[in-house]
Structure 1
């Protein structure tokens, strides 16, 4: 802890500490004292306004109580020239230099400290060291860290899957594949660190989805939930008996994929606690010529279907025309002139006609 005294004759501000490290989500108090002359120009001097600020508009300090970023989280306390700034629910964006200003009833009685208190807001993180990975468990040492030095040398509380397991600066032991561990400063157990855990089973995706044509651009993406963050490695099963890695990184890119790239692919996700692999995914690259041949076959089939359909329409139309020209009654058959019976019948009819004319 260091003390900073700023003064100008009888005017000044003294900060109890010039650097403060506080946990994200916690509450911090920044202390100071200030002074001014008791009498000036035959006037009894009194402080009429005090404020804390981190930024200015023009040459005017912006009172934290009016700053929207601190709305509902800032309180001023103090009496008899003592000043306390309290900030609750600390955020990482609260990291800044905080300065104090006071205004008296004297026309020239204003004082603004040129320096202030540097506040650093940090969260806790679990660091994994000396890991040894076995088939069913991992042995490692865990330590609780912050990005700045906390006010005192704290003791830590350790948790496994949310349950308290011990107190101490570090934790050493065996970890199961599904275990997760976190820590907190003793006395501030509400502000636990993010948990560390081995990678979950990674997922492997191909983009774009659907049919893959030779010469197209294809990307395989691997992702997994892990803390510390996982590193990714891609492998191809077919034609790779030694399972040598193809590439390190979450993405495997094919700028112009070829038929020879067809096969089974998988990725692994690894951090200090363990490694896990994804399910295999099948990549089937189709030759462009196959696409063209399939298109030609499809075109030929369509043309044949159209031809058959047109032929069907023509036959149907022809049948319709024939049915409209046929008589509704059957046609009587007339004997030809060369038939003897027909000739006798005709002669008889002629004689009968002549006899009728004679009678007339």
Structure 2
């Protein structure tokens, strides 16, 4: 086997002797041959005991149909890639661009001029066609060792050539690269223009697909799939990102399956792809599961016991996707009192007392809150104000009554020095509405003539 412009050429010379009863012989050299994928193989045999005049037809084959050999030239898998030549006692088979599917046992058969008489040199030559693979082994925490591998041992091995992103960088049996490298490495036989090994490289950024891609409803079966271009093939891990910076490991498979997805499964997910050469993380995917409203909760401000004239605000909230709309009802009433998340009652009166509830509704369903009792206090604010203002008025009246009693006693003390008609006049004057306070009454008593 030697390099050439068109690839490697493998020459097979027969030495093993296969002899028939008539003395016909075909000499095969090697029974097992290894050739590089894409190379050219040339097989030839040495026959004896067979006169050229006895041969009507000769061809090579690997398959039989209905017990008869199939000429390689008529096999579609070899179309345009095989050629036969014979010179003297030697016959040649040329196969170009050999493929891994061409690994088979090749035999030469002769058709003679005697009807029904033929001869096949058997067993034939077994050809194994190999490609090249880069094997990755971690040598330490920062370095990897790459080796070029073939499935069979090549004859006259010329050594290997190494390529980085398509450019030849080194010849040798192995190559050391740093862990986490984003470059692509491949190998081939040195001096060989045929097909190189598949390149090895770390994962590209993974992509995530969701099935079904339509909206998700509670109870549906949902599958998330992580995929990344990588060689060797990547291993996958699924995580769910919590509201904090923590992440929760869910699966170490390419697919994350929810057989019956729930509202609690809503959230942000991501996956990682990793092989020996590196690791990459996908973007977040947001999962929103549609579900009907959970039982609403109601808050009251300022409280559930109101005074007449107060203002009270009720707020309804329910977990739902999509967001719920809200309607307010009073118990035993068919017509709603209000719509919207917030319900405000201004100027509260006794008629507003009773049980209230809200209804949350979206396209997935509806749910009612528990009853909320709002009552009126036994004493309203106006009554309380009157009670507060009556106390100082009573005190004033008591003081006035006390002063009046004192004045009456003083009047009786001086009544003995006055005429009866004067005393009556004084009393009448005291009760006249024009006297606004006791000080005016006292001044009048001291100077009665001036008053007249």
TM-score class, shorter-chain normalisation, is: 0.7 to 0.9
Q: Relative to structure 2, which stretch is displaced further, 3-12 or 176-185? A: 3-12
The answer to whether the 8 Å contact 1:12/1:111 transfers is no
Determine the structure 2 residue equivalent to 1:340.
Answer: none
The answer to whether the 8 Å contact 1:213/1:288 transfers is no
The answer to whether the 8 Å contact 1:264/1:282 transfers is yes
The answer to whether the 8 Å contact 1:133/1:273 transfers is no
Q: How many positions carry a matched residue from both structures?
A: 289
Task: Specify the SS of the correspondent of 1:69.
Answer: helix
* Offset at residue 185 of structure 1 (A): 0.5
1:126 aligns with 2:134: yes
Higher relative contact order (CA 8 A, sep 6+): 1
Determine the structure 2 residue equivalent to 1:294.
Answer: 362
The answer to whether the 8 Å contact 2:292/2:362 transfers is no
Task: Specify the SS of the correspondent of 2:247.
Answer: coil
CA distance in 2, matches of 1:29, 1:242: 64
Q: Relative to structure 1, is the Cα distance of residues 74 and 260 closer, same or farther in structure 2, using a 3 angstrom cutoff?
A: same
* Offset at residue 244 of structure 1 (A): 4.5
Q: Relative to structure 1, is the Cα distance of residues 92 and 99 closer, same or farther in structure 2, using a 3 angstrom cutoff?
A: same
1:23 aligns with 2:27: no
Determine the structure 1 residue equivalent to 2:203.
Answer: 199
* Offset at residue 176 of structure 1 (A): 5.9
What TM-score do you get using the length of structure 1 for normalisation?
A: 0.74
* Offset at residue 45 of structure 1 (A): 4.7
Determine the structure 2 residue equivalent to 1:234.
Answer: 238
1:285 aligns with 2:289: yes
* Offset at residue 204 of structure 1 (A): 1.3
- Pairing 1:157-236 to 2, within 5 Å after superposition: 157-174=161-178, 177-236=181-240
Q: Relative to structure 1, is the Cα distance of residues 255 and 240 closer, same or farther in structure 2, using a 3 angstrom cutoff?
A: farther
1:59 aligns with 2:67: yes
The answer to whether the 8 Å contact 2:291/2:364 transfers is no
CA distance in 2, matches of 1:296, 1:210: 16
The answer to whether the 8 Å contact 2:179/2:276 transfers is no
Task: Specify the SS of the correspondent of 1:173.
Answer: strand
CA distance in 2, matches of 1:240, 1:87: 65
1:88 aligned residue (89, 96, 104)? 96
CA distance in 1, matches of 2:38, 2:186: 16
1:101 aligns with 2:109: yes
Q: Relative to structure 1, is the Cα distance of residues 279 and 108 closer, same or farther in structure 2, using a 3 angstrom cutoff?
A: closer
RMSD between aligned residues: 2.5
1:146 aligned residue (140, 146, 150)? 150
CA distance in 2, matches of 1:297, 1:108: 85
CA distance in 1, matches of 2:234, 2:84: 45
Deviation track 1:113-146 (CA, whole Å, cap 9, x = no partner) reads 2311111122111001125455xxxx21111011
Q: Relative to structure 2, which stretch is displaced further, 280-289 or 220-229? A: 280-289
Determine the structure 1 residue equivalent to 2:19.
Answer: 7
Q: Relative to structure 1, is the Cα distance of residues 279 and 132 closer, same or farther in structure 2, using a 3 angstrom cutoff?
A: farther
What TM-score do you get using the length of structure 2 for normalisation?
A: 0.59
CA distance in 2, matches of 1:198, 1:117: 41
CA distance in 1, matches of 2:364, 2:50: 100
Can you give the 5+ residue segments of structure 1 that lack an aligned partner in the other structure?
A: 39-43, 299-360
Can you give the 5+ residue segments of structure 2 that lack an aligned partner in the other structure?
A: 1-11, 294-319, 325-360, 367-452
Task: Specify the SS of the correspondent of 1:83.
Answer: strand
Q: Relative to structure 1, is the Cα distance of residues 140 and 45 closer, same or farther in structure 2, using a 3 angstrom cutoff?
A: same
The answer to whether the 8 Å contact 2:25/2:50 transfers is no
